[in-house]
């Protein structure tokens, strides 16, 4: 039996159904490995089972309810070891006792520490009204610090050498402590607690002791071991985190995440392992737009707030969970940015009937003038100034809706297929795998 590779890539601002489809396809194909290839502990992929169990997957692959399915955290992933232990315990209570034993972590993965998490939260508070929309788990701070000081960046493999890891931890703590001295931090108890972590000279050693169970159950994996896992006969699923509209280079700066969401990012993991094989890429999207916290959402519509969202709350670091009508302008941009797709997987098709029909945005009005479907143009190269310009455009955009609402799933599917040039291969009419219908499933 050969190995087949399939990726799931979000076409929105996240929360589009990647967890649902990872679980569904892992079951359907008996996937032996789910690869996380981007992002970190800020992911939140919900899987609801027909027996009532539910888990929001953060770092473990959303195929973990399937016995024998391993999670592989590839080298671009930012690992949060103590959060892994917390998530493992939650999975144990949900009937998955061996998630850590089924975990493979590339030794090159960057590691989030309490110092990164504290610094990231303090920076976000210091931004005040200009907050970026941080998840508060330290992923962005980990990447920023690793780029600024690559010699002191903590990698998962470093944890196997405690004295070496301790030196790096202390260097990180001291650097971040000095940087935070220059920021206008709020005089709150919460800020004082986060600041106290950067002042504590004992925390690094205590944290290293706390992560030892993670290191013992999931020791650092070298490139050869990663390649062997990926080459096993059967199915390998690549589970994307976030969505391409939050991509660090293609998203709308500064309301983005330090993560790359693209077909090229998936294929780079295989190339790094020395595997030259085709990947079938699926774009995942909701029937309507959503996003957490700060950032533009031109079609935001309070009328959609009546749609139940039991696993996406307004509380927490990201802030309010917002809903918007279907936006063909944003989806067209996402399709151009993500790379070539072999089909689409759509969630929340059942919401169309519950809303009495969704309004389809086909263009924007900006500064009094109608802008066509091509209003958002990608930059020729990674260019954050260009992306900031797109952010300003979106902030001032007024959606122009088609005269008739889309009142049935079949009509919605026809619209998105015409827009994307891709077939809708799978559609979900509820939160469980049993609610997924295979319209034109992938064949191999």
How far apart, in Å, are the Cα atoms of 389 and each of 27, 251, 289?
Answer: 43, 11, 21
- Cα 241 to Cα 259: distance, rounded to the nearest angstrom: 8
Euclidean distance between CA atoms 432 and 49, whole angstroms: 6
The answer to whether 329 and 373 are in contact (CB under 8 A) is yes
Q: Quick check: bond before 420 cis, omega within 30?
A: no
Element (H, E) at 117: helix 114-127
Quote the crossing angle between the two packed helices 114-127 and 162-181, to the nearest 10°.
10
15 labelled catalytic? yes
Coil vs helix vs strand at 143: helix
Q: Is 292 a catalytic residue?
A: no
Q: Which of 23, 32, 45, 247 is catalytic?
A: 45
Contacts of 62 (CB under 8 A, 6+ apart): 18, 19, 20, 22, 23, 26, 34, 45, 47, 239
Which stretches does DSSP call E strand in 24-102?
Answer: 33-36, 45-48, 54-57, 70-73, 78-79
Q: Which residues, at least 6 apart from 215, have a Cβ–Cβ distance to it below 8 Å? A: 81, 159, 160
Structure tokens at 398: 């007024």
Residues near 39 by beta carbon (within 8 Å), at least 6 away in sequence = 77, 78, 139, 240, 241, 242, 257, 259
In angstroms, rounded to a whole number, what is the distance separating the alpha carbons of residues 241 and 61?
Answer: 10
Could you list the active site residues? 15, 45
């Amino acid at each position: 039996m050969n190995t087949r590779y399939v990726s799931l890539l979000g076409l929105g601002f996240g929360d589009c159904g990647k967890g649902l489809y990872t679980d569904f396809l892992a079951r359907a194909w008996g996937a032996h490995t789910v690869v996380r290839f981007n992002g970190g502990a800020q992911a939140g992929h919900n899987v609801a089972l027909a027996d009532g169990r539910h888990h929001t997957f953060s770092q473990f692959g959303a195929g973990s309810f399937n016995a024998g399915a391993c999670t592989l955290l590839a080298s671009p992933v930012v690992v949060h070891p103590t959060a892994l232990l917390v998530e493992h315990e939650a999975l144990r209570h949900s009937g998955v006792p061996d998630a850590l034993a089924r975990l493979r972590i590339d030794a090159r993965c960057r590691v989030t520490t309490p110092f990164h998490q504290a610094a990231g939260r303090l920076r976000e508070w210091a931004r005040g009204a200009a907050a970026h929309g941080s998840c508060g788990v330290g992923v962005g701070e980990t990447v920023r610090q690793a780029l600024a000081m690559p010699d002191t960046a903590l990698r998962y493999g470093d944890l196997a050498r405690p004295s070496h890891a301790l030196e790096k931890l202390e260097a990180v703590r001291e650097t971040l402590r000095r940087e935070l001295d220059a920021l206008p931090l709020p005089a709150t108890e919460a800020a004082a607690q986060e600041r106290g972590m950067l002042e504590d000279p004992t925390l690094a050693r205590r944290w290293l002791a706390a992560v030892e169970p993670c290191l013992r159950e999931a020791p650092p994996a070298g490139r050869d071991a990663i390649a062997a896992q990926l080459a096993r006969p059967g199915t390998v699923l690549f589970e994307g985190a976030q969505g391409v509209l939050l991509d660090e280079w293609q998203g709308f700066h500064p309301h983005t995440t330090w993560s790359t969401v693209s077909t090229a990012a998936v294929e780079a993991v295989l190339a790094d392992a020395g595997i030259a094989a085709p990947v079938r890429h699926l774009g995942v999207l909701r029937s309507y737009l959503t996003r957490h916290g700060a950032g533009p959402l031109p079609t935001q519509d309070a009328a959609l707030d009546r749609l139940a969202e039991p696993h996406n709350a307004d509380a927490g670091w990201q802030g309010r969970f917002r809903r918007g009508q279907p936006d063909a302008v944003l989806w067209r941009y996402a399709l151009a940015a993500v790379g070539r797709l072999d089909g689409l997987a759509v969630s929340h098709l059942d919401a169309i009937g519950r809303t009495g029909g969704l309004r389809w945005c086909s263009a924007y009005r900006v500064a009094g003038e109608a802008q066509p479907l091509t209003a958002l143009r990608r930059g020729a190269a990674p260019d954050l100034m260009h992306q900031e310009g797109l952010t300003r455009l979106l902030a001032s955009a007024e959606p122009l809706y088609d005269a008739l609402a889309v009142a049935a799933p079949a009509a919605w599917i026809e619209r998105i297929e015409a827009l994307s040039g891709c077939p809708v291969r799978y559609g979900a009419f509820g939160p469980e795998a049993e609610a997924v219908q295979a319209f034109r499933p992938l064949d191999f």
